[in-house]
Structure 1
Amino acid sequence: MTTQDVGPIDYLAVEFPGARLRGKGLAALLDLVERGIIRILDLRVATVTESGDVMGVALTDLDDDGELDLAVFEGARSGLLDDDDLAESARLVAPGNAVGLIVYENTWAGPFVTAMREAGAEMVASGRIPADDVVAALETLEASEAPA
């Protein structure tokens, strides 16, 4: 047992068309961090050139609007994510786009894990159900419950 239990660690790879950051995604990420729901362990961004070359991007003004976008996460490096991981994620996106790779802890689960261990329980497995599978299951359930 560790002196500090941590929540499950997950990652996300996000494609940014045209290598531009738009919308409310950054605000949502900052909100999750500020409320203590997640903790960013690694955050890296790379662009994929038209020829397919991968270039790391500094976490600064990604959308050229004059405001620092991800500077709050600059230096977020845990050692869980390396250049090979970033290059592998970059292969998932189209040339001319960017990829953001985030490794994060689900901090909300830490106190639960600690309480369970203090009660003599042990976490023996965890997993992730793909979002598309959840949506399909919910749609099937909803269709089966609809009046004929």
Structure 2
Amino acid sequence: MSGDIEDMGPVDYLVVEFPGNRMTGEAFPLLVGLVDQGIVRILDMRFVEKDADGNVAGLEVTQLEDGSGLGLSVFEGASSGLLGQDDLEEAGHALEPGNSAAILVYENLWAAPFARALRRSGAQMVASGRIPVQALLASLDAEET
């Protein structure tokens, strides 16, 4: 297993909120395409919902699919166990009541060769982050004024 870890690319997670539990399914084929192209590897994917009282519950893909035509059945079994109940609860805290979310843990396969080379040279990542598009646009707008 340690050999596999040495070959891995950076691992990220996303929590994507769906207001009013409205999932259109438009983005899911694009995610499948990223997997098929070898750009990312899904390590874990779970769904949660937050009811009007603030209670958070995990959802199974079969509960979401239920004849909806979202195309989620391709993700059935994508749960590796990396995400535990505490992670679902944590994601639920970020949700507004009445909304649901997808929690995705994925490996950036495109960056794996770069990460391997860095590890071989003795380098290690000491910090990472993500800049939300809205913050980037706000910063650019502020520069223009």
User: TM range, normalised to the smaller chain?
Assistant: 0.7 to 0.9
Aligned residue among 98, 101, 119 for 1:99: 101
Structure 1 residues 64, 124: CA separation in 2 closer, same or farther (over 3 Å shift)?
Answer: closer
1:80 to 71, 79, 82: 82
**Equivalent-residue separation in structure 2 for 1:12 and 1:41 (angstroms):** 12
Residue 129 of structure 1 aligns with which residue?
A: 130
Runs of at least 5 residues in structure 2 that lack an aligned partner in the other structure: none
Question: Which has a greater percent of helix?
Answer: 2
The offset of 1:13, in angstroms, is 0.7
> How many pairs does the alignment contain?
141
Instruction: List gaps (5 residues or longer) in structure 1.
Output: none
Cα distance, 1:124 vs structure 2? 3.5
Give the TM-score normalised by structure 2.
0.80
Aligned partners of 2:40 and 2:110 also within 8 Å: yes
Q: CA deviation at 1:66?
A: 4.0
- SS of 1:127's equivalent in the other structure is coil
Distance 1:124 1:45 in 2: 29
Question: Which residue among 37, 40, 48 is the counterpart of 1:38?
Answer: 40
Larger radius of gyration between Structure 1 and Structure 2: 1
Percent sequence identity is 42
1:3 aligned onto 2:11: no
CA separation of 1:25 and 1:139: change in aligned 2, threshold 3 A? same
Equivalent positions of 1:114-125 (< 5 A) are 114-118=116-120, 120-125=121-126
Instruction: Identify the residue that residue 17 of structure 2 maps to in structure 1.
Output: 15
The letter of the residue matching 2:81 is G
Change (3 A) 1:18 1:44: same
Cα gap change, 1:117/1:88 in structure 2, threshold over 3 Å: closer, same or farther?
Answer: closer
